[in-house]
Amino acid sequence: MKAIVLVSAALAFASGAALGQPPHSPDADALYRQGLSARQLLDAPLRDARGETVGEVQDIVLDRGGNIRQLVVELGKQSLHVPWRDVSIGEDMEFVQVALRELPRDEDAVPGAWRVNELIGDYARLADESRYGLVTDVIFSERGEATAVIVERDRAWGGAGHYAFPFAAFDRAAAEYALPYQRDELVLLEPFDYLRLDRQSVYAGR
C-alpha cells in the first residue's frame, strides 16, 4: 500500500519532481519556505505607493494554470482589479502594497479565470469517496503559482486537521474538488503546520 505524506507530495508536485520520487523528498521544506497563504492574503489591508492603507483584498483571480493574475480589492465604494505584477507582499504577510500611483479602473479579462473564493469552501473528494473534507486554503509559491490546497478533514478519516495536497486544476463545474487519491493511500499524513509557515516563509519578518 502506498502511503503519502501530503506535505511532501505537495512539494514533489510543486517542484516538478517525477511522480515516482519517494514521498519523503528532501526538498519538502520548500512549501513552507516559499509559501504564501490565500487566507492570509484575503482581507489583508491594501497600501498604496505612499504606504497608506486604502482598502483591503477581497479575492484573488487566477488563470487556468493556477497562476495569480489579479487581486480584487475594495477601495471605499469600489471594487477594483489590481494586476498581480504590481503587488508586493508586506512584512509577515500582514498587508499588500501596490506600486501604482493610480489604480486601474477597468477589469482586464483573464481567459478561463476563476477566483480563489470559489475553491475555498468547496468540498474535497477522493477518487473513491465523496466528502473527504473542506478546502480551506490555497498555498502559492513566490511567483504566485498555486502549489497546494489545504483540506480540513474530520476525525472520521483518521485524524482531524489541515492537510496539504498538490494543486492540480480547479474545475468550477465539478460538484467537489477532486483529489486523485484512494482512501487507502492516505494513511501517513503530516498535518499542515501554519506556525511553521509563519516562521519559515520568505515573507516572515520581511
Partner 1 sequence: MSARLIGAVVLGALAGTAAGADILDAHYDAARDQIVAEIAYRGTNADHEFVVEWGRCSAESPPRLAGRLIDRQGKDAAREDYRVSEEIPLRDMPCRPALVTLRLGRSAHADLFVEEK
CB 147 within 8 A of CB 31: yes
Provide the minimum distance between the beta carbon of 91 and partner 1 in the complex, in angstroms, as a whole number.
22
Question: Minimum CB separation from partner 1 for residue 191, in Å?
Answer: 20
Residues 98-137 that bind partner 1 (CB under 8 A): 117-118, 120-123, 130, 134, 136
Report if residue 187 touches partner 1, rule: CB under 8 A: no
Angular region, 16: left φ>0, alpha ψ -120 to 50, beta rest: left
d(CA 191, CA 155): 13
* 70: contact with partner 1 by CB under 8 A: no
43 binds partner 1 (CB under 8 A): yes
- Pick from 175, 184, 187, 199: which binds partner 1 (CB under 8 A)? 175
Question: Per rule CB under 8 A, is residue 64 in the interface with partner 1?
Answer: no
Please give the span between the terminal C-alpha atoms of the chain, in angstroms, as a whole number: 42
HSE of 102, CA atoms in CB hemisphere, 13 A? 3
Task: Determine the Cα–Cα distance for residues 24 and 15; give it in Å rounded to an integer.
Answer: 14
- Which is nearest to 163 in space by CA: 39, 38, 7, 2? 7
Q: Greatest CA span in the chain, whole angstroms?
A: 56
State yes or no: residue 78 binds partner 1 (CB under 8 A): yes
How far apart are CB 9 and partner 1 at their closest, in Å? 24
Of 99 and 175, which has the nearer Cβ to partner 1?
A: 175
| Single residue of 79, 142, 169, 182 touching partner 1 by CB under 8 A | 79
User: Under the rule (CB under 8 A), what is the footprint of partner 1?
Assistant: 42-43, 58-59, 74, 76-79, 117-118, 120-123, 130, 134, 136, 171-176
